[in-house]
Amino acid sequence: MALLEITNLTVEFATAHGSLKAVDQVSLSLDAGDIVAIVGESGSGKSVAMLALMGLLPWTATITADQMSFDGKDLLTMNAKQRRAIIGKDISMIFQEPMTSLNPCFSVEYQISEVLAQHFGGSRGSHKNKVIELLEKVGIPAPETRLKAYPHQLSGGMSQRVMIAMMIACEPKLLIADEPTTALDVTIQAQILELLVELQQANSMALVLITHDMAVVAETADRVVVQYAGQQVEQRPVTELFNNPRHPYTQALLSALPEYAKGKTLNAIPGVVPGQLDRPVGCLFSPRCEHAKDLCHSQPAPRSEGVLCHYPLPINTTAVIQTEAVS
């Protein structure tokens, strides 16, 4: 049985202008040791789906799903207390902004030992050695000296390492990393990714990597989910997807990568992700799609073979593009 099983997850927010569908019928299945990347532009609902899984959405959100289970337990029916026993222990999540995600009022030791005390019992002080071990594991030099440091004394990269230490403290079966490198310097980004993959392999945990960076996807993931305006437009293994994108949006994303640039200009996708007020009637990507036909503008797209499109791109048997080219 799969570790994580999500079917048709929908998240709606109540706003001043009526309800906003941030996540629309998203499904995801994960086994232990899987690395799945979720990619898409900002506002495509990548993080929201995972926050819904964690139960971290504000009260304005309404969550509906046919199925949402983890490790055989149904997340939809369990109460808040049961969910809290899983959150932070078996499922944990790393956020985009390490600088603001740590509480400025507490030391590094306090914040890491707190999660240990929460799930394994004991006083915070009794976990001191474990905290040092964790800090060492995430590559913080001289961890003993960092125990009493406050977040404002740490750099962004260091903060993210502390954050990772905190979230792998209970050896989770599933780690969700929500754009873990976006706010960091380019040189640090690779280190953090490497660290995540290392930890994933050492503990054979499942890793969900939310990102908008295709290069990151190609380097790390086994499987890719492409999300557009809250919908999953394509979900396939990474090599297949890179070699032969079936959804025009995926194709457009890939061809926007510098490696694919022909001549001196980068290929950009025209237009922007539709907002709450200008949602198209038909396929959500139709206004920006260069292959769009009349049907696309009038009818929502059907899903077939993991692709949400009226006219999926043909299966290409002679793949020209090699994944290596991207990485």
Partner 1 sequence: MTSSTTTTSYSVRSQQWREFWFYFSVNKTAVAGLVFLIGVVLMAILADVISPHSPTEQYREFAEIPPAWMEGGQMRFFLGTDYAGRDMLSRIIHGARLSLIAGCIVVLMSASIGVLLGLVAGFRGGWVETIIMRIMDTIMAVPGLLMALVLVAVLGPGLLNAMVAIAITYTPSFVRLTRASTMTELNKDYVTASKVAGAGPMRLMFISILPNCMAPLIVQGTLSFSTAILDTAALGFLGMGAQAPLPEWGTLIAENRDLMLSAPWTVTFPGIAILLAVLAINLMGDCLRDALDPKLKRS
Partner 2 sequence: MFKFLFKRLLVLVPVFFGVTLVAFGFIRALPGDPVEVLAGERGVSPERHAELMAKLGLDQPLWQQYLSYVGDVLQGDLGTSLITNRPVAEEFFELFPATAELAICAILFAVILGIPAGIIAAVKRGTWIDQGIMSISLAGYSMPIFWWGLLLIILFSNTLNLTPVSGRLSFLFEVEPVTGFMLIDSLLSDEKGAFKSALHHLVLPAIVLGTIPLAVIARQTRSAMLEVLSEDYVRTAKAKGLSPLRVIAIHALRNAMITVIGLQVAVLLGGAILTETIFGWPGIGKWIIFSVFSRDYFAVQGGLLLIAGCVMVVNLTVDLLYGLINPRILH
**Interface positions with partner 2 (CB under 8 A):** 54-56, 58-59, 80-81, 84-89, 92-93, 95, 97, 100-105, 114-115, 118-119, 150, 152, 163, 166-167
Report how far residue 281's alpha carbon sits from residue 276's, in angstroms, rounded to the nearest whole number: 12
Assess contact for 7 and 67: CB atoms under 8 A.
yes
Report how far residue 112's alpha carbon sits from residue 209's, in angstroms, rounded to the nearest whole number: 22
Burial level of 276, CB count in 10 A (0-12/13-18/19+)?
A: middle
Report how far residue 168's alpha carbon sits from residue 237's, in angstroms, rounded to the nearest whole number: 26
DSSP lists the bridge partners of residue 244 as none
Closest separation in Å from C-beta 152 to partner 2: 6
Nearer to partner 2, 45 or 172 (CB): 172
Q: Which of 229, 212, 232 is nearest to 278 (CA)?
A: 229
Closest separation in Å from C-beta 283 to partner 1: 17
Closest separation in Å from C-beta 251 to partner 2: 35
- 315 part of the interface to partner 1, by CB under 8 A: no
Nearer to partner 1, 204 or 298 (CB): 298
- Residue 85 interface partner, choices partner 1, partner 2, none, CB cut-off 5-8 Å depending on type: partner 2
- Two tokens at 288? 């920006």
Instruction: Compute the chain's Rg from CA coordinates.
Output: 21
Report how far residue 30's alpha carbon sits from residue 291's, in angstroms, rounded to the nearest whole number: 32
Report how far residue 303's alpha carbon sits from residue 67's, in angstroms, rounded to the nearest whole number: 18
Nearer to partner 2, 18 or 302 (CB): 18
Assess contact for 13 and 84: CB atoms under 8 A.
no
Nearer to partner 2, 25 or 182 (CB): 182
Binding mask 263-282 for partner 1 (x = CB under 8 A): -------------xxxx---
Assess contact for 208 and 50: CB atoms under 8 A.
yes
Closest separation in Å from C-beta 279 to partner 1: 7
Total residues in contact with partner 1, by rule CB under 8 A: 11
- 148 part of the interface to partner 1, by CB under 8 A: no
- Residue 311 interface partner, choices partner 1, partner 2, none, CB cut-off 5-8 Å depending on type: none
Closest separation in Å from C-beta 19 to partner 1: 9
| Residues found near partner 1 in the complex (CB under 8 A) | 13-18, 60, 276-279
